[in-house]
Structure 1
Amino acid sequence: MNPLEDHERKVIIEFCHLLEKSKQLFNGLRELPQYGHKQWHSYFGRTFDVYTKLWKFQQQHRGVLDNKYGLKRWQIGEIASKIGQLYYHFYLRTSETGYLSEAFSFYSAIRGRSYYTQASREDKCELMVKKLRYYARFIVVCLLLKKLALVRDLIKELDKQIIEYGATYDPEDQIEWTFVMDEVKAFIVAEAAVTVLHPDNYPIVLSHRLNIMSVPPPERLTAATLTLQEAVIVGSVSQQVKFSELTMDMYRILQTLEWEPSGEMPQVYNESPRHRFTATPQIIKGYNHDKTGRHENPHKYLLFKPSAAQVLVYLASGCFDLPSNGALLLYISADALIVPASKISEDTGYDVGGLMTNVKSDLYRDHASREPRPTVSRTKDPQCIHPGDLYPFTRCPLFIIIDSDNSYIFQNIPRHFAQPLVVLMSPLEVPSTFPSDYRKEGSLFTLFLHSPLSAFCYCCDIKTVPLVQWERSQSYIETFIVEAAQVMMRHRIDPTFIAFMSDDFLRLLLLRFMFCAVALRMHRGFRSRNQLPRSSPPLPDDLLEHPTLVHIIMDLAVHLQVRSHFHDSSGPPTTSN
């Protein structure tokens, strides 16, 4: 062999070595524990290093690989797709939105450079399946980045690809992919609870991530300030619209617990920025935050219909990883296990019902043919989360949000360890005027925590808002948040609230909860006490009826021309149910 042939052979051997090693490391990621921090970080680093070398190598030796090895474009696309998956999963484990942008860069390059164009012409259908999975992953990333115009284009392309897939291969999983299409279409319809229209009559894409303009600084802090470090997000509503193991409630609360990528981005997104394609993927070392940690995102675990045991394991891991000044948030959106009043005993830990989190439970099979609020005879079930299950985790500062038809059962969790503990609970029911399947598109309570103005409009049957009116209405929300923070800190409230007010995310959640509570107490449609949110410790009535806060709600209602929906005062409903 001449020297050129030796060189070509070495190139091909090295490429095959890097390709095989990258596959082994990528497959090994599935074996890593999903909880904890240290176990996976170094493994991800090694995997990124190999893919960095592989990507550079195929770029530098493309001529030899094309002509002598027979490298195909779909093979390049597969490498880029796995790099995109690495960035996406690193985002899930770190909550840093910059990794989402990197995943988008690679997925966008695959589409822009038509790496998978020839997929349907291969003899085997496995390559076409990879192409369909790539589209599904790309759509998830675009959803999280609020690139909804691109999502709609991708849906059209995926729909076409699924039809072609079925016509070419007559596969057994054709129905499953059709179901995926139905899911993502339903998700897009439900995503925007209210349509905000530009003066040129096209819908505006809004971001509801945190920015420094949306949360007021704390009025005063105690010596021991807390920061939200760990969050466990559980989504288990059986009938709720979902896509790729994200229910609508999970999707909304996930973004609520993140800063905008720049820290100061406006609320209206521009969907046509110039995106770069990163040629050499690598781990971004460190965080680009100020020294106070103000712009740092909490680490989050996303659990889609987990078993009760899984929830407890992730909570234990979150508690274990907390620093001395850290707080843990548990958010659960789940169907209720209702216990008849005659069955309830004095044991508020386990005999009051619970939350059904696991789709594999027999209760879920029973639930499929029942009303939204099932009643069962058993008071305990191993696959349900009961209030008593959370007692051990009150050893650390714990902030709990329960969105369920059975949320009130969590209001009596004891503080055995004298640590800060707050529980925010959704209403048990909504007015009869709401559609019977309204929660399919996401809970009203979670929507208030995610986008208070969208939830306010939904309660008043406002479907469309002009952009100018939306921006003016948003200023009322911002005024309420600022005033509520001042009123709250000057009131005699339980000190545990003060402890959590030092964190930007938790402070904003508390203030949005106050907006929800004040607005619904004033709303004529919410007449029952079971239609109002609760907190533990409870917020005083005189705080929720404060004249300044009531006045802002009324001004907002007048501005949106829905004044008739609200009482003149914010007195609580008189019915006792």
Structure 2
Amino acid sequence: MSQNNIPVSETYWSLVDKADKKFSKIRDLPYYERNRHDTYFYKVFKVYTQLWKFQQENRQKLLEAGLKRWEIGDIASRIGQLYFGQYMRTSDANYLSESYIFYEAVLTREYFKEGLFQDHSLANKQLRFMARFLMVCLVLSRRETVYQLVNQLKMLVDECKRTFQESDFKEWKLVVQEIVKFLKADTAFMNIRPLRYSLVLDLHPDFLPHVATRRKLRLRDAILTSYYPNEVKFSELTLDTFRMLQCLEWEPSGSFYQSSGAPSWGMGTNVAQSGAHGPRINCLQDIADPTLPPNPRKAVLYRPSVTQFIAVMATMCEELPPDGVLVIYLSASGSSISDSPNHLSGQGVGESLGYRTDGLHIGARGNGGLDCICPCDFIPFTRRPLLFIVDSNRSKAFKSIKGAEKGEPAAMLLSPSSLPMPGSVDSSRHPSGSLFTTFLTAPLQAFCLLLGISGSDVEMDTYNKAEKLLSVLLNEWGSMLAASDTLDPVWAQVLSDPFLRRLILRFIFCLAVLTLYAPTFDKKEFLPECIPCLPEVVLPTAATSQTAVLQIADVFGATNRFIFSEGITLPESRCCDEESMSSS
């Protein structure tokens, strides 16, 4: 009994009820109510902290009163879910690491094991927990743990189907198929080097070339959305947004190499021996690097309605700092709005500009155009600095925004209308994801995919040689841009941001490769575009750009797959200073 003579069990269940109610409310809050969500997160987290502490201090009394182990696991799982949700809203890696810690504790302590195959509801709790933990490990790049969880999930689903009604677990069979398909596309070859910005591999922000510009803007926020019918995804994270999400974050220094081998923290002996927070020190050293700046905040939207998308965009523009840039990443198929039965032909300036013609389907079709977002929908938000990355067969429709901005000239990286991928249903898609997005997030892998070179065909020595060479070439392009007198101020003001600089340089590589690639040579529909135009010194017609592609192609013995101008030859010698080989 407590001092107020209230039984411990009664106090506990009162806290559980309070926590459940607050958890339900925060789960249902829309993304665009940011301030309300942040306030509510701390309130609900405070309740769960009290609940967790209370059950720890009164564990024996609660067990005697009938508390089950799975109920303790349910609290820990909820806390992990809260942390991951907050990471997805803030991009703060500390929340991601805390989520991992709690989920790992649930797994290694086997909270849901007792009575698992006697209770249908408990079996579903365990399956939901494993699916959520899988997502955390995917985003955290804990691939060994991912593969272990997938195997456990397969076995658990099979056992549940044998024990209970098979029809009750059909959806879980689909979940297993989804993650297997995801991992088949996101292979080890696609993750040879981290997609996040690494101070070990990428050029340190302190050493970026000086750019003569009146103002310097930073990437502060990003909206990421991707939708294609039957695209590769896990839960609500598509392969394209998964890669772009990582590309716009910092890689904790050295953690990629520590975790790529056998991890010292293992699958739970630390947790089992030292409690729920046993692995905290090792995990935080791996994930949370106090020397790094905060990650840009990102909103990952899966199949939003157009009104939801606009509401999130409006919130981000409203909260964007004075020195901030908002990246808008759209990966979706497009069509003419006139295809919609509810379309009414408009009149006036908008139609003459052409930005009402085409749109991108960010949700399933059949809603009378309600899922179709158009270039004109973005015009009111061009009062703030925006960088569009549009990966679509109708990406060029966004060129119509140029000249219609309300205050800030928009920057745009636009994919080709189609890409040379024979045999695929949509020529801009590939089993390993969009080729244009892959060029922006893993450029060397994209180069190999374009040539039909798979991971099993590439020796590590060859790959490492090409990776180091590409790093040097990208940095040379970066120096040329910074020194150019003709660099448009729209690009100059963002070139000091490491994330945006890296995207621009990889775009230059993509443009050069696709321009010189024999099957797409001199065919505009196969070429990406950027607005405003980049200086001629980095365009594919420049000898430096052609020599760069020639050198990369030579490493893979594929120079005959490209068409170069007369007189373009390999440099006789190239002295590579190992210390300068920092990727861009």
TM-score (norm 1): 0.86
State the match for 1:494 in structure 2.
Answer: 488
CA contact under 8 A between 1:146 and 1:206: conserved in structure 2?
no
How far apart are residue 130 of structure 1 and its match? Answer: 1.1
Task: Indicate the SS of the match to 2:333.
Answer: strand
State the match for 1:358 in structure 2.
Answer: 363
**What is the alpha-carbon distance in structure 2 between the residues aligned to residue 70 and residue 206 of structure 1?**
50
CA contact under 8 A between 1:215 and 1:508: conserved in structure 2?
no
How far apart are residue 10 of structure 1 and its match? Answer: 3.3
State the match for 1:96 in structure 2.
Answer: 92
- Say yes or no: does 1:485 pair with 2:472: no
State the match for 2:509 in structure 1.
Answer: 515
**What is the alpha-carbon distance in structure 2 between the residues aligned to residue 271 and residue 87 of structure 1?**
26
**What is the alpha-carbon distance in structure 1 between the residues aligned to residue 525 and residue 258 of structure 2?**
33
How far apart are residue 473 of structure 1 and its match? Answer: 1.6
CA contact under 8 A between 2:332 and 2:361: conserved in structure 1?
yes
How far apart are residue 72 of structure 1 and its match? Answer: 1.4
**What is the alpha-carbon distance in structure 1 between the residues aligned to residue 475 and residue 258 of structure 2?**
18
State the match for 2:381 in structure 1.
Answer: 393
State the match for 2:313 in structure 1.
Answer: 315
Q: Please list the CA deviations of residues 385-439 of structure 1 after superposition, one character each: whole Å capped at 9, or x if unmatched.
A: 1111111111000000000111111112134334142111111111253544643
- Say yes or no: does 1:148 pair with 2:139: no
CA change 1:48–1:339 in 2 (3 A) is closer
**What is the alpha-carbon distance in structure 2 between the residues aligned to residue 467 and residue 310 of structure 1?**
45
State the match for 2:21 in structure 1.
Answer: 24
Q: Which residue of 393, 398, 410 corresponds with 1:405? A: 393
CA change 1:544–1:131 in 2 (3 A) is same
How far apart are residue 540 of structure 1 and its match? Answer: 4.4
TM-score (norm 2): 0.85
Task: Indicate the SS of the match to 1:509.
Answer: helix
State the match for 1:569 in structure 2.
Answer: 565
- The residue identity in structure 2 corresponding to 1:361 is G
CA contact under 8 A between 1:87 and 1:100: conserved in structure 2?
yes
**What is the alpha-carbon distance in structure 1 between the residues aligned to residue 479 and residue 446 of structure 2?**
23
Structure 1 stretch displaced more, 93-102 or 316-325: 93-102
CA change 1:168–1:467 in 2 (3 A) is same
- Say yes or no: does 1:33 pair with 2:30: yes
State the match for 2:129 in structure 1.
Answer: 134
**What is the alpha-carbon distance in structure 2 between the residues aligned to residue 22 and residue 424 of structure 1?**
45
CA contact under 8 A between 1:349 and 1:388: conserved in structure 2?
no
Q: Which residue of 53, 57, 64 corresponds with 2:54? A: 57
**What is the percent sequence identity of the aligned residues?**
34
How far apart are residue 230 of structure 1 and its match? Answer: 1.3
**What is the alpha-carbon distance in structure 2 between the residues aligned to residue 422 and residue 84 of structure 1?**
38
Task: Indicate the SS of the match to 2:60.
Answer: helix
**What is the alpha-carbon distance in structure 1 between the residues aligned to residue 499 and residue 312 of structure 2?**
21
**What is the alpha-carbon distance in structure 2 between the residues aligned to residue 514 and residue 439 of structure 1?**
21
- Say yes or no: does 1:246 pair with 2:233: no
Q: Please list the CA deviations of residues 534-566 of structure 1 after superposition, one character each: whole Å capped at 9, or x if unmatched.
A: 111122455213323322222221112222222
CA contact under 8 A between 2:481 and 2:535: conserved in structure 1?
no
- Say yes or no: does 1:334 pair with 2:332: yes
- The residue identity in structure 1 corresponding to 2:362 is T
State the match for 1:373 in structure 2.
Answer: none
CA contact under 8 A between 1:206 and 1:268: conserved in structure 2?
no
Structure 1 stretch displaced more, 513-522 or 14-23: 14-23
**What is the alpha-carbon distance in structure 2 between the residues aligned to residue 263 and residue 388 of structure 1?**
44
- The residue identity in structure 2 corresponding to 1:207 is P
**What is the alpha-carbon distance in structure 2 between the residues aligned to residue 273 and residue 225 of structure 1?**
42
Q: Which residue of 395, 415, 419 corresponds with 1:426? A: 415
- The residue identity in structure 2 corresponding to 1:441 is S
Q: Which runs of 5+ in 1 are unaligned?
A: 197-203, 364-380, 572-577
Q: Which residue of 177, 198, 214 corresponds with 1:211? A: 198
How far apart are residue 289 of structure 1 and its match? Answer: 5.6
CA contact under 8 A between 2:412 and 2:531: conserved in structure 1?
yes
How far apart are residue 339 of structure 1 and its match? Answer: 7.0
**What is the alpha-carbon distance in structure 2 between the residues aligned to residue 431 and residue 440 of structure 1?**
13
**What is the alpha-carbon distance in structure 2 between the residues aligned to residue 268 and residue 402 of structure 1?**
33
RMSD over aligned CA atoms reads: 2.9
CA change 1:112–1:279 in 2 (3 A) is closer
CA contact under 8 A between 1:98 and 1:261: conserved in structure 2?
no
CA change 1:519–1:338 in 2 (3 A) is same
How far apart are residue 303 of structure 1 and its match? Answer: 0.7
State the match for 1:505 in structure 2.
Answer: 499
Task: Indicate the SS of the match to 2:519.
Answer: coil
**What is the alpha-carbon distance in structure 2 between the residues aligned to residue 570 and residue 42 of structure 1?**
64
- The residue identity in structure 2 corresponding to 1:347 is S
How far apart are residue 447 of structure 1 and its match? Answer: 0.3
State the match for 2:579 in structure 1.
Answer: none
- The residue identity in structure 2 corresponding to 1:385 is I
CA contact under 8 A between 2:22 and 2:44: conserved in structure 1?
yes
- Say yes or no: does 1:534 pair with 2:522: no
**What is the alpha-carbon distance in structure 2 between the residues aligned to residue 431 and residue 5 of structure 1?**
72
Q: Please list the CA deviations of residues 266-324 of structure 1 after superposition, one character each: whole Å capped at 9, or x if unmatched.
A: 5983451427658479xx9xx9766xxx7221111111011111111111111001111
CA contact under 8 A between 2:317 and 2:384: conserved in structure 1?
yes
CA contact under 8 A between 2:379 and 2:406: conserved in structure 1?
no
State the match for 2:570 in structure 1.
Answer: none
CA contact under 8 A between 2:508 and 2:538: conserved in structure 1?
no
Q: Which runs of 5+ in 2 are unaligned?
A: 340-344, 568-584
**What is the alpha-carbon distance in structure 1 between the residues aligned to residue 221 and residue 487 of structure 2?**
25
CA change 1:570–1:232 in 2 (3 A) is farther
State the match for 2:40 in structure 1.
Answer: 43
**What is the alpha-carbon distance in structure 2 between the residues aligned to residue 479 and residue 570 of structure 1?**
24
Task: Indicate the SS of the match to 2:533.
Answer: coil
CA contact under 8 A between 2:355 and 2:400: conserved in structure 1?
no
CA change 1:560–1:432 in 2 (3 A) is closer
CA contact under 8 A between 1:148 and 1:205: conserved in structure 2?
no
CA change 1:179–1:532 in 2 (3 A) is same
1:142-181 map, 5 Å: 142-170=137-165, 172-181=167-176
**What is the alpha-carbon distance in structure 2 between the residues aligned to residue 346 and residue 79 of structure 1?**
55
CA contact under 8 A between 1:348 and 1:387: conserved in structure 2?
no
Q: Please list the CA deviations of residues 185-222 of structure 1 after superposition, one character each: whole Å capped at 9, or x if unmatched.
A: 00000012x738xxxxxxx7542101234146143252
CA contact under 8 A between 1:230 and 1:322: conserved in structure 2?
yes
1:258-269 map, 5 Å: 258-262=249-253, 269=260
CA change 1:547–1:239 in 2 (3 A) is same
**What is the alpha-carbon distance in structure 1 between the residues aligned to residue 468 and residue 353 of structure 2?**
42
How far apart are residue 515 of structure 1 and its match? Answer: 1.0
CA contact under 8 A between 1:480 and 1:515: conserved in structure 2?
no
CA change 1:109–1:260 in 2 (3 A) is same
CA contact under 8 A between 1:521 and 1:570: conserved in structure 2?
no
How far apart are residue 7 of structure 1 and its match? Answer: 10
- The residue identity in structure 1 corresponding to 2:50 is K
State the match for 2:573 in structure 1.
Answer: none
State the match for 2:435 in structure 1.
Answer: 444
How far apart are residue 569 of structure 1 and its match? Answer: 3.3
How far apart are residue 61 of structure 1 and its match? Answer: 2.0
CA contact under 8 A between 1:348 and 1:388: conserved in structure 2?
no
